[in-house]
Chains A and B, each alone.
Chain A
Amino acid sequence: DVVVTQSPLSLPVTLGQPASISCRSSQSLVHSVGNTYLNWFQQRPGQSPRRLIYEVSKRDSGVPDRFSGSGSGTDFTLEISRVEAEDIGVYYCLQGTHWPPTFGQGTKVEIK
């Protein structure tokens, strides 16, 4: 299985400041059809996961534009331009290019 590694695993943030999470895969996530299937999910405390980003950089409906995704090949990043209190939780990346789909370990975003 493709191994997906996130860093950091814990991210203390200051409200209003930017935050960045890295996701690296053990293989290139470029699919044979040309797309790159890397998603980002947010899981707030006590809630189900919610998808934020799909195919590296496409925001799902209703996701604030302070969230952005970037990257290519094996290296990807989720950025929050200005952290708000509601952004606290655990963030996961997921690779969907290779079977089976595999998640990163999660990055816990908390207030500094």
Chain B
Amino acid sequence: EVQLVESGGGLVQPGGSLRLSCAASGFTFSDYWMHWVRQVPGKGLVWVSRINPDGSSTTHADSVKGRFTISRDNAKNTLYLQMNSLRVEDTAVYYCTRDSSGYFNYWGQGTLVTVSS
């Protein structure tokens, strides 16, 4: 069974940093593109970042480019999102997702990031 378990969310002040993790199991992690998608509480879904199977290629949404970095450790079956220079508008639930027959077939339970002073 495919499982994605996010962790690392919490309360951080504007300008601060946080690193999210997503532990994957139930599939060969190194075979798949992985993404982060976020959702402001009560609002819609927004794609944030993606990474290719071997980690050599990454893409970020314009809203986080230069501040967020997606990475992965295939030996640990773990996806990461390093978030720097956090802003109030980055407050959201962050989901780890995996592709299969197209985008976002599997989702984690999400981890809440709150940016507030």
Name the prevailing secondary structure of the B interface residues: loop
Residues of A within 8 A of B44 (CB): 92, 103-106
Q: Judge whether B102 is part of the interface by a CB distance below 8 angstroms.
A: yes
Give the shortest distance, in Å, between A59 (CB) and chain B (any CB).
11
Q: Are B105 and A48 in contact (CB under 8 A)?
A: no
Q: Judge whether A102 is part of the interface by a CB distance below 8 angstroms.
A: yes
Name the prevailing secondary structure of the A interface residues: loop
Contact of A55 with B104 at beta-carbon distance under 8 Å, contacts A100-B61, A103-B44 already known = no
- Which chain B residues in 50-108 approach chain A with CB under 8 Å? 59, 61, 95, 101-105, 107-108
Give the shortest distance, in Å, between B97 (CB) and chain A (any CB).
8
Residues of A within 8 A of B (CB): 37, 39, 41, 48-51, 54-55, 58, 60, 92, 94, 96, 99-106
Residues of B within 8 A of A (CB): 44-47, 59, 61, 95, 101-105, 107-110
